[in-house]
Chains A and B, each alone.
Chain A
Amino acid sequence: MISVLRWLAVLILLSSPASAHSLRVFATVSGEEVSGYGFFVGGGRPKGVSWNARMGEIEIASGTTDGNGGFRFRTPEPVSAEITVAINTGEGHVASRTLPARRFSASVDDAAGDIAIQSDVSRPLDDKNVQKPALVEAAIEAAVERQLAPLLERVEQMDARMRLTDVIASVCLILGIGGIVLWARGRRS
């Protein structure tokens, strides 16, 4: 029994820096382009495997991941439904990420261009902002998306990280469940 528990402890320690093989997909929106990558929790990227993107039920892009497990494609105009990017390693690992339609702004580039022109003529934006609030909103959304992308990536990685405390807690929980069942059976008999 002691040796079994000793081996168990070794396995737990081994599992802390490495980790399991759950496949995840990270995707971010930049204007009319979606880019991202797949990754295995704890390390490793699905290299050279197939991916596809669907807008609703319609396939809008597909290909194979690059050396870093990455993908990139342009979205159609307009984005009428949520876009789902799926990576299939071909041996049973399948993962997907869904981007809601509201994350895509059809007029982001137009809005950015429009505001740039305004800046060139050194006129306050307020006049046209009032006339085209949607364009300004789209430009702001695009800027926020760019700023948030690294944070979202970091959050995704932290969310996928396994913690040694969680592993130990889970192992102890399993052993504890066994103990509880034994105790309950002992009380009944």
Chain B
Amino acid sequence: MAHIADGILSLPVLSGASILAAAGVAYGLRQIDDRAIARISILSATFFAVSLVSVPVGPASVHLLLSALLGIILGPGIFLATVVALALQAVMFGFGGLTTLGVNTFNIAMPGFLVGVLVGPYIRRTHNVAGAAFAAALSAGLCVFLTGILVAMDLWLSSPDYIPVARIVLITYTPLAIGEALVCAAIVTFLKRANPDLLLPRLSSAGATT
């Protein structure tokens, strides 16, 4: 759903979203350190592999995004992880496109980044594992719908012919949001119990929440 192909979006939408995505990538690069590089690489590869597995739902097919998880674990590094994986998917398999790389990066990474900023601190701070898992699940579901809204806005701004139908969006995105929520909650639960430090984007300061 989030891999918008070449030749569909208008130039203003492409350029605007690309600028925003580039700003996100630049911000991610400024925050990077050695620990973050290894984590971004592994989660970028994970996102790459996960988003290749699709499940037919309704008239379309969907795949996991893991954007909430990436946002919580990587913080602004989600932009780097996403752009690298999407670029390779476009080059190797023709999913999405190189001209829409910025749009697709923004659509996937921005909701995850926002969740990481808003919900991430609670998930990392709380000692209530169930509460953290619940917050992660809600965040993951929210990210799916935010990505869907961004995709719909891109298409709506580019051509009225391609406006997504709300009923179909709900039919296809709701199961995805539920699946994404379950996966994200399971991983956050595991990390909270096994090694909570892995949920910290940076270890440098005591707060370490961004």
Q: Which A residues lie at the B interface, using CB under 8 A? A: 1, 4-5, 7-8, 11-12, 14-15, 18-23, 40-44, 46-49, 52, 86, 88-96, 159-160, 162, 166-167, 169-171, 173-175, 177-179, 181-182, 185
B-side residues, CB < 8 A to A, are: 1-5, 7-8, 34, 37-38, 40-42, 44-46, 48-54, 56, 58-63, 84-85, 88-89, 92-96, 148, 151-152, 155, 161-162, 164-165, 168-169, 171-173
Give A150 to B36 CA distance when docked, in angstroms. Answer: 49
Q: What residues of chain A lie closer than 8 Å to B56, measured between beta carbons?
A: 40, 43-44
CB of A8 within 8 A of CB of B45, answer yes
Q: B168 and A91: CB pair below 8 A?
A: yes
Please determine whether A170 and B63 come into contact, CB atoms closer than 8 angstroms: no
Q: How close is B63's CB to chain A, nearest CB, in angstroms?
A: 6
CB distance from B201 to the nearest CB of A (A): 16
Contacts between the two chains (Cβ within 8 Å), count = 151
Q: Are B95 and A22 in contact (CB under 8 A)?
A: yes
Majority secondary structure, A binding face: mixed
- Report whether over half of chain B's contact residues are helix, strand or loop; otherwise say mixed: helix
Complex CA distance for A69 and B45, rounded to whole angstroms: 32
For B94, the chain A residues whose CB sits under 8 A away are 22, 159-160
Name B151's closest neighbour in chain A (CB-CB): A92
Which B residues lie within 8 Å of A19 (CB)? 52-54
Interchain CB contact (< 8 A) of B164 among A5, A22, A91: A91
Q: Which of B34, B41, B49 is close to A15, meaning CB atoms less than 8 Å apart? A: B49
* A32-B41 Cα distance, complex, nearest whole Å: 52
Q: Residue of A at shortest CB range from B172?
A: A91
Contacts A18-B53, A167-B49 given: A174-B168 contact, CB under 8 Å? no
Closest to A174 in B: B45
Q: Which residue of A lies closest to B194 (CB)?
A: A3
Contact B37 A170 (CB under 8 A): no
